[in-house]
Structure 1
């Protein structure tokens, strides 16, 4: 895992880069968030491919548990990926509602994520 640092408008954003799944559970999300916070970052960019597929099945409650932790600790999170591939109406609604907030967003590109998190 590599943490690429981006600084925009004095906001430190961590882009987490890996070829592997790094978030398999809520505890993994909490551990990553602690690591990022300890390094002085304000916000985090994760890639869909680095999150367990169970995250995108809302019945598992993994998404809610992880995103609640980011919200509680006020760490901004952008998840970058192709979310059109998911058929679930409840997931599409969840993404739509999340994107209304500034805390957790599901976006299509790194550029969109950086733009969103730098505001």
Structure 2
């Protein structure tokens, strides 16, 4: 399976394949944003398994870079999958996830099915 555009309500979603390339550099983020734009998506559903370890170590700044890039391009991001083990190891990550889920730009959810409940 590859990345596909789906509709969730009236929002075009780039649903990323769990087996796609790892996202661990700014160039990877740019490619992901480009794929969203080429598919005219307003939201990217990205499996947490595709994120490099540097995303979960907030000291690297990569999580902030990724989220800020999405905000700058007015794209929404949903990170899908169980990241509870990473959150258990890092209070900062747990707080980042909690605060992100209070907003609408970046959400951390267990599955794509949970996304429909979070969208307006």
TM-score normalised to the size of structure 2? 0.89
Cα distance 1:9–1:20, how it changes in 2: closer, same or farther (>3 A)? closer
Stretches of structure 1 lacking an aligned partner (at least 5 in a row): none
Cα pair 2:14 2:39 within 8 Å, conserved: no
Hey, what does 2:12 align to over in structure 1? 12
* Residues paired across the two proteins, number: 118
After the TM superposition, which parts of structure 1 deviate over 4 Å for at least 4 consecutive aligned residues? Answer: none
- Decide which moves more: 75-84 or 12-21: 12-21
Q: Aligned Cα RMSD in Å?
A: 1.5
Matching of residues 1-119 of structure 1 within 5 Å: 2-86=2-86, 87-116=89-118, 118-119=119-120
Shift of 1:5: 2.2
Shift of 1:21: 4.1
Cα pair 2:18 2:50 within 8 Å, conserved: yes
Equivalent residue of 1:2, what SS?
coil
CA deviation string 1:30-58 (max 9, x = no partner): 22111211221111100011110111000
User: 1 CA distance for matches of 2:110 and 2:56?
Assistant: 15
- Decide which moves more: 15-24 or 94-103: 15-24
